[in-house]
Structure 1
Amino acid sequence: MDPATNAHALTDDVGFLLSRASAVFVRATNAVLASYGLRARPYSLLLMACSAPAGVSQRDLAETLALDPSQVVSLVDELAASALVERRPSETDRRAKLVVATEAGRALCAEVVPVVEGAAAAQLADLSATEQLILRELLTRLMARGPGASPQ
């Protein structure tokens, strides 16, 4: 069977297109992060921790990143071993641990954010500024629905 025919059949599958686009972006992001000792998922977690000076719960990280909590634990362990984040007890929930970016984590994040943004810009270069804005808005709307949400 002709591979082009197979690929054409998949272009009608929005799930496939989203998955494929995500894979392309993740590969590009991982490529630029490699020299910093990071990958896309730990970077996303570090970025969230840096955006929350008081810390962010592992539960919130799991929900936002759409990961199983056990995956978040592994990512936090990895970043903590590199002294980029630390776990601190929550002042409002003694059962919860907050993930807080360290000074080294904030410094690294400040350094890599423009690099990651550059990689994303390169991936989006074939889209106009308006198309990029529309794409972000549409993806944001899809994410806001969450898994299992019923149509409105």
Structure 2
Amino acid sequence: MTPRTTTSVDEETPRIGGIERLAHTDLAAEPLFLAARLASTGSAGANGVLAELGLKVRHYSVLALACSGEEPTQRELSQFLVLDPSQIVSIIDELEHRGAVERRTDPRDRRSKILAPTAAGRSLYGQARDLVTRSTEESLTGLSVAERDELFRLLRKAAL
């Protein structure tokens, strides 16, 4: 066997620790992975701050839509949030138990239920929205205001 005369890149270059060394992989060049990673890290940060209110991102999302003035149905919530209907029912049950929302019969279709916030729910949403806004600011500190605006524009265009 002939001795190896070249040095591999791994032997020449000191290894970078942590996830930074994965930033140059094929996966890190895939837009859907990057969007999912941003969503995951953003959700983790938001869950961390929402914990002081006893909420998670899913609760916040349902509460935000309930407070939107659009009177969403449970089916619309499920479709918009891309959650199984049983997950929506569970989240609404928890928010209803806390006195934050109530189910009402949909006047457009009496077989369907709409979700409406209570006064306590509106107050809780205001507190949660402030926390989520701050968490989002922290998650995006590396972007300028113009870059954030462009990111939001592109995300809305791609997601909606």
TM over 0.5: yes
Secondary structure in 2 matching 1:60: helix
2:134 aligns with 118
2:123 aligns with 107
**Aligned 8 A contact 1:83 1:105 in 2:** yes
Gaps of 5+ in 2: 1-9
1:50 aligns with 67
Alignment counterpart, residue 29 of structure 1, candidates 35, 43, 46: 46
Count of aligned pairs between the two proteins: 143
Alignment counterpart, residue 144 of structure 2, candidates 104, 128, 146: 128
Question: Of the two, which has the highest radius of gyration?
Answer: 2
Superposed CA deviations along residues 1-31 of structure 1, whole A, max 9, x for unmatched, are 9873586221112121111111100000001
2: CA distance, partners of 1:97 / 1:139 = 30
1:141 aligns with 157
Counterpart residue type for residue 16 of structure 1: F
Superposed CA deviations along residues 63-82 of structure 1, whole A, max 9, x for unmatched, are 21121222111111111111
Q: Aligned pair in 2 of structure 1 residues 24, 6: CA closer, same or farther (>3 Å)?
A: closer
2: CA distance, partners of 1:83 / 1:45 = 14
1: CA distance, partners of 2:124 / 2:50 = 11
Alignment of 1:80 onto 2:105: no
Gaps of 5+ in 1: 145-152
1: CA distance, partners of 2:87 / 2:118 = 21
Structure 1's consecutive aligned runs of 4 or more residues displaced over 4 angstroms after TM superposition are none
Q: Tell me how far 1:125 sits from its aligned partner.
A: 1.1
2:57 aligns with 40
RMSD: 1.8
Alignment of 1:93 onto 2:109: yes
The alignment's TM-score, normalised by the length of structure 2, stands at: 0.83
Alignment counterpart, residue 19 of structure 1, candidates 23, 36, 52: 36
**Aligned 8 A contact 1:55 1:101 in 2:** no
